[in-house]
Amino acid sequence: MESKALILPTPDAINEMYSELDTSETKLDLDVKILKEWMRKQPHLPNPDDGEKKVDEYRIKNILLMCKNSLEKTKTALDQHYTIKRLVPEYFSNWDPANPELTSSMEQSCVFPFPKPTHEGYRVSLYCVRDGYADCKYVFNDIVKFSFMTLDLRIGKLDMCKKNIIIVDYKNLTMNHVAAMLPSIKKVVASYHAGFPSRVHSIHIVNTNSFVQPLLNMVLSALKKKTYERVFIHKSAEELKTYIDPSVLPLNYGGTYPKTSDEMIVDWNHEVMKHREWFLIQTSIVADNSKRPKNSTNNLDNLEKTIIGGSFRKLAVD
């Protein structure tokens, strides 16, 4: 469902992705039907046919593609996707983009996908504090919530991509931002890995400084090894165009796409607001672990961990 804020990859790029994964549109449709039938038999998972709360077929299809067309991996990913939404309510509940606190977070941060994909079909996303908002009240949980809402809208309704490219810009980050992020950053990374299967092509970090280093070290230590090996740290945003097609990048990041990141985020936030009713429904489409079969093979005991005073507190998931 292409929109002004998000252009889908070309048919050639999508067909190439299908070919690499040994699938096709017809086979994907069949596999989605198989996965929906599997979900119907899982008493703890949302019913894919439950009226307005039905599971988006587009979501299942995207998760299948991110799991490299493996039905078994997709079953595990779907289980974790709906379970993490129940486990971490501070990130996955009250998804109302019209809420004043959330609206404030949407305005002060850039958390969004660039409209144009690369010619390979990769989607580039930017995470940063916007210019002029460095001294505003910063509620990290709301920023994280909006980030997960953005991911959910992408996989549930709007996007399809071969892999993801992530840009993290620390230019406007202050010591107050870092202090707000440090206690929760491992929980955020764990929630992301559990809830949103993603094929990461690369992560590009720009504009680091000495007081950001502890945060950066913690983020890197929380990444999976394969993802960690795809992290690049740059001295300036201008270096990005050496790694990413300039036609995708906004003007203020050395690109030639005819908009700045500020103009792009306005378009994306408008897209989010357009889907307000959809977001309100999504918060109730979650797993019910009280109905989870005892012989469930998906071990979720270590799904989410939180750092407290240097030790791990395991959150019960039984």
Q: Which domains does the chain have, with CATH numbers?
A: 1-292 (3.40.525.10)
Closest CA to 126 of 136, 139, 141, 112: 112
Mean pLDDT in residue range 146-160: 96
**Token couple for 265:** 């985020």
Closest CA to 287 of 243, 311, 317, 256: 317
**How does DSSP assign 81-132, residue by residue?**
HHHHHHH-HHHHS---TTSHHHHHHHHHEEEEE-SSPPTTS-EEEEEEEPTT
For the chain, what's the residue count? Answer: 318
Q: Decide if pLDDT at 301 tops 60.
A: no
Question: What pLDDT, on a 0 to 100 scale, did the predictor assign at position 52?
Answer: 67
Task: Report the amino acid identity of residue 115.
Answer: P
Mean pLDDT in residue range 28-47: 95
d(CA 111, CA 272): 11
- In 217-304, beta strands by DSSP E: 231-234
Mean pLDDT in residue range 141-160: 95
Phi, psi of 171 (to 5 degrees): -50, -50
Q: pLDDT tens for residues 56-84?
A: 899 999 999 999 999 999 999 999 999 99
Q: Is-contact 86 124, C-beta < 8 A?
A: no
pLDDT: is 254 or 135 the higher one?
254
Least confident of 35-44, 86-95, 146-155, 214-223: 214-223
pLDDT: is 294 or 244 the higher one?
244
Q: How confident is the model at residue 224 (pLDDT cuts 50, 70, 90)?
A: confident
Question: What pLDDT, on a 0 to 100 scale, did the predictor assign at position 317?
Answer: 29
Q: pLDDT tens for residues 3-14?
A: 778 999 999 999
Mean pLDDT in residue range 244-259: 95
Please tell me the number of Cα atoms within 13 Å of 46 on its side-chain side: 24
**How does DSSP assign 121-164, residue by residue?**
S-EEEEEEEPTT-TTS---HHHHHHHHHHHHHHIIIII---S-E
Phi, psi of 109 (to 5 degrees): -125, 155
Please tell me the number of Cα atoms within 13 Å of 64 on its side-chain side: 24
User: What are the CA-CA distances from residue 16 to residues 75, 165, 242, 283 (Å)?
Assistant: 24, 18, 24, 34
d(CA 317, CA 302): 8
Q: What percentage of the chain exceeds 70 in pLDDT?
A: 92
Q: Which residues pair with 91 in a beta bridge?
A: none
Q: Decide if pLDDT at 195 tops 80.
A: yes
Q: Decide if pLDDT at 312 tops 60.
A: no
d(CA 66, CA 11): 18
pLDDT: is 22 or 235 the higher one?
22
State whether residue 190 is helix, strand or coil: helix
Whether this prediction's pTM lies above 0.95 is answered by no
Question: What pLDDT, on a 0 to 100 scale, did the predictor assign at position 2?
Answer: 58
